[in-house]
Amino acid sequence: MSSRKGQRDAARVVREQLARESRRRRTLWASVAAVVVLVIAGLIGWSVWSSQRADEFTAPPGANDAGTGIVIGGGPVTIDLYEDYLCPACKQFQQVSGATIDQLVKDGKARVVFHPVAYLNRFSTTEYSTRSSAAAGCAAQGGKFKEFTDALFARQPPEGSAGLSNDELIDIGAGVGLNRDEFGSCVKDGTYKPWTEKVTEDASRSGVTGTPTIKVNGREVADRTPAGITAAVEAAGK
């Protein structure tokens, strides 16, 4: 009798253990399913938010069809320039090869699409890369993008500084012939900051990891010297 009772007790203990294990498994799978649902919902939400954010911008006059760069000239070969106004290497590139690119445009051999990216905000205490790029959008609105860009590189502040103030950017704009009031309001309102964000995001998606990056008809040019750029444009034009 005692033996049968012991067997029943043992069987009951086993059943209880199995029941507890079953409940633990159900709880575990329910938790996993909940996490999966949350992750999927989060990814969908992020995708929707990201696409909406990317669409919430207005490109300045003179932009390309994608709205991610300002077009200068109308030649058959496209030179894409990705530059940050705080980038010392970009300033050096402009000093060395800028005149060559200007001549290629003047001769009708190429058009330039200038993408003012904001990669170097971390090297400024006031997000100068974003502010200067947005100000360049304001300059494009006033028809003086190229002149303003040249002046910005000529007045480039050092990395690690606050950068030029908005008032200084406005002074530079007025100096190249922009209407001080209209340009000043555009700069202070940050009108083209969403555009700058779009330009920068698009550059990153297209594989641009640093500045300056130069592409001729979509192919990156390794030799950024005047001779290298001229050769790339001539080859692309054949």
pLDDT, position 134: 98
Q: How confident is the model at residue 23 (pLDDT cuts 50, 70, 90)?
A: confident
pTM for the whole structure: 0.77
pLDDT, position 204: 97
Question: Which helix (H) or strand (E) segment is 36 a member of?
Answer: helix 2-55
CA-CA-CA-CA dihedral for 54, 60, 62, 67, to nearest 10? 0
pLDDT, position 121: 97
pLDDT, position 50: 45
Q: How confident is the model at residue 38 (pLDDT cuts 50, 70, 90)?
A: very low
Using the predicted structure, report yes or no on whether residue 42 has a pLDDT greater than 50. Answer: no
67 phi-psi bin (left φ>0, alpha ψ -120 to 50, beta other): left
Using the predicted structure, report yes or no on whether residue 98 has a pLDDT greater than 90. Answer: yes
> Mean pLDDT, to the nearest integer, of 143-151?
98
pLDDT, position 238: 83
* More confident call, 42 vs 66: 66
- Distance separating alpha carbons of residues 63 and 199, to the nearest angstrom: 11
> Mean pLDDT, to the nearest integer, of 153-171?
97
pLDDT, position 192: 98
Average pLDDT of the chain to the nearest whole number: 87
- Distance separating alpha carbons of residues 43 and 171, to the nearest angstrom: 45
